[in-house]
Amino acid sequence: MRAQPKGSHFINGAWVEDESGAIIESIHPANGEVIARLHEATPEIINKALEAAQRAQADWAARAPVERGRILRRAADLLRARNHDLSVLETLDTGKPLQETLVADAASGADALEYFGGFAATVTGQTIPLGRDMAYTLREPLGVCAGIGAWNYPIQIACWKAAPALAFGNAMVFKPSEITPLSALALAEILCEAGLPAGLFNVVQGRGAVGAALATDARVAKVSLTGSVPTGRKVYAAAATGIKAVTMELGGKSPLIVFEDADLDNAVGAAMLGNFYSSGQICSNGTRVFVQRSVKAEFLEKLKARAARIVLGDPLDESTQMGPLVSEEQMTRVLGYIAQGQGEGARLVCGGTRAGESGCFVQPTVFADVHDDMVIAREEIFGPVMTVLDFEDEEEVITRANATDYGLAAGVFTRDLARAHRVVGQLQAGTCWINSYNLTPVEMPFGGVKASGVGRENGHAALEHYTRVKTVYLGLGDVESPY
């Protein structure tokens, strides 16, 4: 299995290599095979990418928005036409099952390119009457934006950042996660083929230090990170020193609340999607499942039966429902949390061990009788581990759901819609689902509150984060001066 790209970096419309950069290996986590060997960006490579971006941006900003949008929509069509190959690449790099990558990765990236491609030409300013005089506003691009990605949705993350950035006239230098470096390069090639002028979307590889170099460079106007809270704190602080704009899409420990009047089959299905899809490696997962005590036994019974039927295996086999975790390190981390949960006295309902002897597979795991103060109920595990907590009444569950530093997402299952709205109105979360979970279509804004982040991706809200407002005061009469 090889997925070696033509070069490590894609800069100014071309493949670039600099073998003096440290080696980055992309490993297929289902069998440990090295599928590609790349080099980290050296300071020269980073400089080249930023220079190219800066050079290209002014012309791009001056183009008619409808023309910018057309190129992005062409790229969306190319992504869709090549969805199968891109999905195989993403499966090799991340280990996520093809069954998922075929529908959720390049496909959602294409949606973002199409959406922001269409959005580009609709952006306008305001006119502000001021009596005799008036003012108007212009929406201007920020300039060069740095994008830094996580490893769980590599091409989706690249598109969620690149599409609005490019649509509104910016250039981007994107650094994918060192664990999944490949699909951003494929995206760069496709954007180029769609007609994006050279230099507007550049990909540089590297670990944290390369991200830090981008976040501190004076040529970068904005940094958009998808990653963990500890990394977010560092990148936000670095950006603050340079007074740069930021978008921070960080981690979570989101509550999913199941009231006794809920459709339990739907609630169980959503809880499983919100904990086992992508082997649980999703930021917005509803990892604290609060179930009202009167339906707890029934909920757990249904959950256990359905979890036992999950098909684990070779992620390239389309009948596989759950693949490995992304890396051995992540598997070890997750198994450590499982051991800790058992040590803390949580009741293991199913799973709890590694699956098989090779590959980074962990069984879908459910803990019941979990208490709020247990580590497995407080920390982001980022693996297929669901914790089920009991509650008695609405007020109690809202307080407990909010008792976390995180605030990315939340879900409520109930047939009582008045209660559903009342509850989500009080939940401290950037995105809430009622009788659904984890669906993130590009039309709706997505992002966190509290430690889970700053800013929003997608929807009309993204405009705020990739443009700035210029105000122009227009004097239409004589200047009234006391001097």
Catalytic-residue membership of 249: yes
Task: Verify binding: residue 154, ligand NAD, rule CB under 6 A.
Answer: no
Question: Is the separation of the CB atoms in 144 and 54 below 8 Å?
Answer: yes
Q: Which two tokens stand for residue 478?
A: 């004589």
Closest CB to ligand NAD: residue number: 211
CB nearer to ligand NAD: pick between 21 and 252? 252
For residue 201, the minimal CB distance to ligand NAD (Å) is 17
* Residues between 402 and 441 with contacts to ligand NAD, criterion CB under 6 A: 408
CA-to-CA distance for 443 and 451, rounded, in angstroms? Answer: 24
CA-to-CA distance for 158 and 176, rounded, in angstroms? Answer: 8
Select the residue interacting with ligand NAD from 55, 70, 80, 234 (CB under 6 A). 234
Which class for 311: exposed (0-12), middle (13-18), buried (19 or more C-beta within 10 A)? exposed
CB nearer to ligand NAD: pick between 87 and 226? 226
For residue 120, the minimal CB distance to ligand NAD (Å) is 23
Distances (CA, A) of 422 to 37, 93, 258: 52, 42, 14
Give CA torsion, residues 293, 295, 301, 302, to 10 deg: -130
Task: Verify binding: residue 227, ligand NAD, rule CB under 6 A.
Answer: yes
CA-to-CA distance for 68 and 117, rounded, in angstroms? Answer: 7
Select the residue interacting with ligand NAD from 117, 147, 383, 453 (CB under 6 A). 453
Helix (H) or strand (E) holding 176: none
Distances (CA, A) of 4 to 9, 185, 218, 324: 12, 11, 33, 21
Rounded to a whole number, what is the distance in angstroms from the first to the last CA of the chain?
Answer: 79
Contacts of residue 475, defined as CB under 8 A and 6 or more positions apart, other chains included, come to: 133
Catalytic-residue membership of 48: no
For residue 179, the minimal CB distance to ligand NAD (Å) is 7
Among 161, 175, 244, 253, which one carries the catalytic annotation?
161
Task: Verify binding: residue 112, ligand NAD, rule CB under 6 A.
Answer: no
Backbone angles phi, psi at 199, to 5 degrees: 95, -10
CA-to-CA distance for 380 and 397, rounded, in angstroms? Answer: 19
For residue 64, the minimal CB distance to ligand NAD (Å) is 32
Catalytic-residue membership of 470: no
Among 159, 192, 283, 350, which one carries the catalytic annotation?
283
CB nearer to ligand NAD: pick between 223 and 349? 223
Sole window of 13-21, 124-132, 171-179, 333-341 interacting with ligand NAD (rule: CB under 6 A): 171-179
Among 90, 100, 114, 249, which one carries the catalytic annotation?
249
For residue 169, the minimal CB distance to ligand NAD (Å) is 24
For residue 311, the minimal CB distance to ligand NAD (Å) is 25
Question: Is the separation of the CB atoms in 150 and 235 below 8 Å?
Answer: no
* Residues between 240 and 269 with contacts to ligand NAD, criterion CB under 6 A: 249-252
CB nearer to ligand NAD: pick between 79 and 408? 408
Catalytic-residue membership of 161: yes
Question: Is the separation of the CB atoms in 171 and 199 below 8 Å?
Answer: yes
Residues that bind ligand NAD (CB under 6 A): 148-152, 175, 177-178, 207-208, 211-212, 215, 226-228, 231, 234-235, 249-252, 283, 380, 382, 408, 448, 453
Q: Which residues are identified as catalytic?
A: 161, 249, 283, 457
